[in-house]
Structure formats: C-alpha cells, structure tokens
Amino acid sequence: MTTFSEYPFLAELGLKEENAGVFNGKWGGKGDLIKCHNPTTGKVIATVRGATPEEYEECVQAMLAAKDKWALTPAPRRGEIVRLIGNAIRDKLVPLSKLISLEMGKIFIEAKGEVQEFIDVCDYATGLSRTINGQVIPSERPGHVLLECWNPLGLVGIITAFNFPCAVLGWNAAISMICGNVQLWKGASTTSLITLAITKIIADVLTANDVDPAICSTIIGPGRTVGEQMIQDKRFGLISFTGSTEVGRRISSVVHGYFGRTILELGGNNAVIVAEDANIDLAVRAVLFASVGTCGQRCTTCRRLFIHEKHYDAVVDRLKKAYQSVKIGNPLEEGVLVGPLHTQGAVKEYLEGLEEIKKQGGKIIQGGNKINVIEGGNFVEPTIVEINHDAPIVKTELFVPILYVMKFKNIDDAMAWNNEVPQGLSSSIFTNTHNNVFKWLGPTGSDCGIVNVNVGTSGAEIGGAFGGEKETGGGRESGSDSWKQYMRRSTCTINYSDSLPLAQGINFG
C-alpha cells in the first residue's frame, strides 16, 4: 500500500501514484515496475514504470531529430531557455526540497540547498552562454589568421546518483544545454520520483517556448540494462557519470574503448587536518557538518580526521559531545539534523563496516548502532572510530556516517596521510600559518581536486570546477572552464591572402 496521499506536494509536482518513467518529447514506460520507497519509514510512496530496450532507442532517435535545430540556435537564446528553467525550478523550490527529503532522506534544509544549486547553475550558465569563446592566435604566415572554434558534441548522456538527485543533473544539463547539446538523463532508480518531477518542470518550459522537449530526454530503468545501453552507444559524444568507483571503472573501460569522452565523479575518502595552530572552534563546527551531513552520504563527506597531538583529546571530546546532541529522525521534521540512510543495503554496509573496523584494530568511541527512531526506517548513529591511518579499511570509502580520528605530531605526516588513499576528491586543513597554507596548496600538498583551508570538505560552490583526481575519476563539472568538456574544439586557419606560404618556412616548390 502506498502513502502517496499523505504528501500533497507530490501532486503539486505533477506526480501520481503510478507514473510513466520515459520522456522523449512524449511520455512512455513499458518496462519493469519500480517501487519508490521512503527511507524514513520503509513504505512505498508511489510506483514508476521503467523503460524497455526499445524505448531507449526511441529516446535516442527523438534526440537525434532535435539535435541540429538546437545546435543552430544562438547560444544566448539557449541561455535564455536555461534561465527560464532555473526560474521554473525556483517556483517549485519548496515542494522539490520536500520530495528530496521524502525520497532520498536528507534533511529539508540540505535538500533546499541542493535545489538552490540547480537554480544557481542555471543563472551561471545563462551568463556563460554569452561568453563562450575561443582564442585568436598569431599566425607565423603572412595573410593568415589562426582561430579556435567551439561546437557542440551532439548527444550527451547524464547518469546521476541517489545522493544528489537534483543538483548533479543541473550541473551537467545547464552547461551542456548552453553548449548546444541534447541530453539523455538516467537518474538513480531509487530516486525516480525526483527524476520525474524535475523532468516535468523542464519539459513544460521547453514546450512553452517552442523548443523540442526531446532535447532533455529522461529514461528510468536499472543500470544493468538502460545504463549499459547508454555507455555502449557510440552516438553519445560524452557520458557523465556520478557514482561508485567500481561502476565508474567499468564505464571508463567501455567508453574510452571506443575513444568516447567521460566525466567521472566517483569515490571520495576525504580528510581534514587540524594543525597545531588551528582555530579549534571553527574546525569542530566544520567537521561536524562535513561528517554527519546527509547521514554521511555525500561524496565530499569527511571520513578521516587528522588531529595534532596537542589538540587531539579536546577535539575528540567536543566532537563526541556534538554527535550526542545531534537530533536524528524524520528529515521533514524541523530541528532534525540527520535523517536515515537511503537504503537497507546502506545499513548493512554500515554494520558490516564496523565489524571489519574492529577486526583491524579500530575502536568505536561514539555511536556504532542501528537505531529504531521510526519503525521501518534506515536509521543509524553517526559514529566516531579511533584507528591507525594505515589500516586497510581506512583506504576504502564506506558511504555511511563513520568518521576515523587519528593523531599526528608532524604536519608533513598528516599531509602524506591525506594523499595515501586511492581517492582524491576533497580535502581541508585548519591552520593560521601561511607556510602550511601554501604547502597544502602546492605540488607536495593535497593531491585532491578540491583543496580547502579553514572550511570543511563539503559545500562546494557552483562557480568552481567540481571533481577530483585518482580513483575519483578526474572529471570536472559546473564552473570554471568545465564547459569545454561538453564541446569539441577546432583549430581553424584562414588564409585571406593571394599566396600560399607553408608553416615552418617550408618551401615545396
């Protein structure tokens, strides 16, 4: 039995108890039935009918039919459409945020921040649509000009994860659209209602502005079928994937096997260093949110905390007290700071991870239990563990609220420990010494894609490129010059003279 009628904001977003899970300008869905669960109660909210392999091909054909007209639309006009999408998302900010809390499980204020990221990146992309540019390069040949031209890739595939079911689509789609691409979005099956709600908003904007809505197609279905079709399809110029390193490795192997492009946003095993001269008040507040926010299910969650021996006991004691004061419960309820884990599988990962931690010499000093806050919910206690930095489990990302705390004496050791894991997404140091700051930012400092000083590991802004190194995949989304990944570059030589000199002074004649 579903609980759909208990949440009036679902109807406000155009959702029903039974929903079609394919959109390519028209709605469809003839595949498997997907039950959408509320992780707070374990109950079914609604159902979605996923895609068949045939419907996947229908989506691609609709996108191909819409591709050229959109690519030939002036970039500032494309930016205006993206601006209107951002405004439409803004109009639904509250119900979308409630839906994310309901179906994903993050608290309302975090969900609201996620929707705001989508809005912000639309504003950013609108401005970017008038500033995409290439270089004019001096030519060594008289009467010649060298130019860079940027053109759309064509078809872009976007595969997003459950933990940011709204924002990551925005980071990709807003930039991809102003670059002139058409895109197919596969959201996580466990957040299908969020995928559909956002698709409906975007489709309404495109239709109202006489743009073929197939340029933003959506397909819901299991990764082993729909996702596999996408990564095997050479018609896509780019596959952007957010998810686990294991799946990302498979996608990289397949797509790069036919010389396709990828943006991979994979695992993060992020560390914070609290140096001897750190502002402890600042550090404790930052680590608390970075470690327990979204119940430890952010790719930028703080999982490792290195504390100078001078401050170790004080910082650990304050964190334990802070953890004990965190209210755990229904993410839609005011005052709750930590909601449930997203699935029962994540609860299993939490419990099994703690058992392995104990086998490897780790000591649980706070939390460590599955708790029954609400009957049927996936609730666990945010947990602090003392462990050696070289324990094998520390190098493995557990996507649950477990924080490792470790003591150091030498700042160089702490920086080396930050870098010794396979992942390389986000990192932070708390220090007031400029020597530490610039070493941390330099070639022998953090090897991560996000390198912070006196702020936590999470909470990236859309204006900077988001992504990481090593097993995090090397991709970059959102700001800076990330737009270049969604376009192809041509170096163009124009001869406006009556002669034909060759480069490098070659005389062929």
Cα separations in angstroms, 454 against 150, 286, 304, 326: 38, 8, 16, 23
- Please name the residues in contact with 141: beta carbons below 8 A apart, sequence gap of 6 or more: 495, 501, 502, 503
Q: Are residues 90 and 156 in the same domain?
A: yes
At 237, is the pLDDT very low, low, confident or very high (cuts 50, 70, 90)?
very high
Q: What is the pLDDT of residue 241?
A: 98
Q: Are residues 247 and 287 in the same domain?
A: no
At 222, is the pLDDT very low, low, confident or very high (cuts 50, 70, 90)?
confident
| Least confident piece of the model among 333-347, 391-405, 494-508 | 494-508
Q: What is the pLDDT of residue 252?
A: 98
Q: What is the pLDDT of residue 1?
A: 62
Residue 45: closest CA among 116, 98, 94: 98
Average pLDDT of the chain is 97
Mapped onto helix, strand or coil, the DSSP state of residue 29 is coil
Per residue in 20-32, pLDDT (tens digit) is 999 999 999 999 9
Q: Are residues 169 and 192 in the same domain?
A: yes
Cα separations in angstroms, 135 against 132, 176, 226, 230: 10, 21, 39, 34
Q: Are residues 248 and 287 in the same domain?
A: no
Q: What is the pLDDT of residue 496?
A: 97
Mean pLDDT of 265-277: 97
Q: Are residues 176 and 80 in the same domain?
A: yes
Q: What is the pLDDT of residue 2?
A: 79
Per residue in 41-94, pLDDT (tens digit) is 999 999 999 999 999 999 999 999 999 999 999 999 999 999 999 999 999 999
Is position 39 within any domain? no
Question: 């034909």: which residue's tokens?
Answer: 500
Q: Are residues 398 and 429 in the same domain?
A: yes
CATH of the domain at 331: 3.40.309.10
Amino acid at 4: F
Amino acid at 406: M
Per residue in 453-488, pLDDT (tens digit) is 999 999 889 999 999 999 999 999 999 999 999 999
Residues spanned by the domain of 170: 54-266+473-489
What's the CA gap between 252 and 20, in Å, rounded? 30
Q: What is the pLDDT of residue 506?
A: 86
Q: Does the pLDDT of residue 154 top 70, yes or no?
A: yes
At 140, is the pLDDT very low, low, confident or very high (cuts 50, 70, 90)?
very high
Q: Parallel, antiparallel, or unpaired: how do β-strands 465-466 and 477-478 relate?
A: antiparallel
Per residue in 370-388, pLDDT (tens digit) is 999 999 999 999 999 999 9
Mapped onto helix, strand or coil, the DSSP state of residue 78 is helix
CATH of the domain at 234: 3.40.605.10
Catalogue the active-site residues.
265
48 phi and psi angles, rounded to 5 deg = -135, 135
Give helix 75-91 / helix 93-103 axis angle, nearest 10°. 70
Is position 262 within any domain? yes
Q: Does the pLDDT of residue 223 top 80, yes or no?
A: no
